[in-house]
Amino acid sequence: MSPLDIEVRDTPTGPVLEVIGELDYDTSAELSHLLATLSIESGQRLVLDLARMEFCDSSGISALIAARNHAKSGGADIALAAVPANTLRVLRVVGLDQVFPLHPDVESAIRP
C-alpha cells in the first residue's frame, strides 16, 4: 500500500490539491478531512492535480465526488487535472467525465 500525500497550494483562481499515492478505501478519508478544513470562496476553482495519483478505487471516486460537492456548496467550481489513464477510463465508464471538467494539466485547469 502506497501512502497518500496531499499537497495544497493557492493560486489566483483557487486552491490546487496535488494527490500523491493511492486514493482508496484506506486513504480516501484523508482527502475528506482535508476538504473539511479547506476554505473555498464563491467564484474560485478547486483543482485536483492527479498526475502523481498511483491508484484510485471506488472509495477514491467517492472522495472525488465529495470534493466536487464541497466546492459546489461554496459556490466554487472544480476541475480534475492530469487524470491517469486507468482512472480516466473509470470516470468515462460511469459518466463522471460529464460531471467533472477534465484538463491535461494544472496550468490549463487554473486558467480563468
Q: What is the pLDDT of residues 39-87, one digit of tens each?
A: 899 999 999 999 999 999 999 999 999 999 999 999 999 999 999 999 9
Residues in the chain, how many?
A: 112
CATH code, residues 5-110: 3.30.750.24
Q: How many Cα atoms are found within 13 Å in the side-chain-facing hemisphere of 4?
A: 23
pLDDT at res. 39 = 87
Distances (CA, A) of 12 to 4, 16, 83, 93, 102: 26, 10, 22, 33, 19
Which of 4-8, 35-39, 87-91 is predicted least confidently? 35-39
- Residue by residue, DSSP assigns the chain as -PPPEEEEEEETTEEEEEEEEEESTTTHHHHHHHHHH----TT-EEEEE-TTEEEE-HHHHHHHHHHHHHHHHTT-EEEEES--HHHHHHHHHTTGGGTS-EESSHHHHH--
pLDDT at res. 45 = 97
Q: Is the pLDDT of residue 10 over 80?
A: yes
